[in-house]
């Protein structure tokens, strides 16, 4: 009877995991994760919707921790090796910051610091999204695949692919930089989770990487594909270097 009870609890955890995946797929509707960005009309995502997304995700995670027979051992939902988590998380975070700075330097030739008023919301979004992503993909899905007998490297690859698909960053018209970054976060996070025995290192590195991208690119959600940033459009409108614009505003007004 006890074994049957554990199986039932395990099935409930699988169901809760699927709910988290569905919630991640619906991030665009809530204006969270990579979709925490102003609309074309300059409107920010609504606070209630964003808080509802974070709250639903946190509620599911709490239920998962309560129902799972062994959340740390089976699903990596814990810190694991604390020293390894701190060291691994800091190294991961350093890599995330370095790549964000490199991307901004190559793409924009500068660090595009955003408006300071957007910092609190971006910090909350980065932290909450990283936490839910790590619980769902590096925790529940990765742990379940390994528990089913799949080899760790294969499990890591599968959860990373599922993660990339759930973010929908491979859709047409979206910047491939974020897709590549997402795949890197998934692979490195999965490897750290397997090594340390918990998601703490992956969570730390993921959250710092997301916030670093925000600080360096000026985007609270998704970066724009090459050629679609404001300064890039303005550069195309300017005459080439060495060219002189003939006429002035006064002559143009007289011609009218």
Question: Residue 236 pLDDT more than 80?
Answer: no
Nearest of 128, 162, 167, 170 to residue 145 by alpha carbon: 162
**In this predicted structure, what is the pLDDT of residue 252?**
46
Report the distance separating Cα 214 and Cα 32, nearest Å.
14
Report the distance separating Cα 185 and Cα 199, nearest Å.
12
64 with 140: CB under 8 angstroms?
yes
Report pLDDT digits (tens) over 104-146.
Answer: 999 988 999 998 988 999 999 999 999 999 999 999 999 999 9
pLDDT averaged over every residue in the chain:
88
Report pLDDT digits (tens) over 37-59.
Answer: 765 555 566 889 999 999 999 99
Report pLDDT digits (tens) over 142-163.
Answer: 999 999 999 999 999 999 999 9
């Amino acid at each position: 009877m006890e074994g049957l009870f554990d199986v039932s609890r395990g099935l409930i955890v699988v169901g809760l995991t699927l709910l988290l995946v569905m919630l991640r797929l619906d991030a665009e509707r809530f204006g969270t994760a990579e979709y925490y960005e102003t609309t074309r009309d300059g409107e920010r995502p609504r606070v209630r919707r964003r808080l509802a997304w974070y709250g639903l995700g946190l509620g599911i995670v709490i239920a998962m921790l309560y129902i799972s027979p062994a959340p740390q051992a089976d699903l990596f939902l814990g810190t694991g090796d604390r020293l390894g988590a701190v060291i691994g998380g800091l190294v991961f975070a350093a890599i995330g910051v370095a790549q964000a700075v490199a991307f901004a330097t190559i793409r924009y030739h500068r660090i595009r610091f955003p408006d300071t008023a957007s910092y609190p919301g971006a910090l909350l979004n980065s932290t909450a999204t990283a936490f839910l992503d790590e619980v769902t993909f590096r925790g529940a899905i990765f742990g379940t695949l390994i528990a089913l007998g799949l080899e760790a490297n294969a499990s890591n690859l599968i959860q990373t692919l599922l993660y990339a698909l759930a973010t929908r960053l491979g859709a047409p018209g979206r910047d491939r930089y974020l897709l590549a970054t997402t795949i890197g976060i998934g692979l490195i996070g999965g490897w750290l989770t397997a090594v340390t025995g918990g998601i703490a290192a992956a969570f730390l590195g993921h959250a710092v990487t997301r916030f670093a991208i925000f600080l360096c690119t000026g985007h609270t959600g998704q970066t724009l594909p090459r050629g679609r940033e404001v300064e890039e459009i303005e550069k195309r409108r300017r005459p080439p270097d060495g060219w002189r614009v003939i006429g002035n505003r006064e002559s143009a007004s007289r011609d009218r």
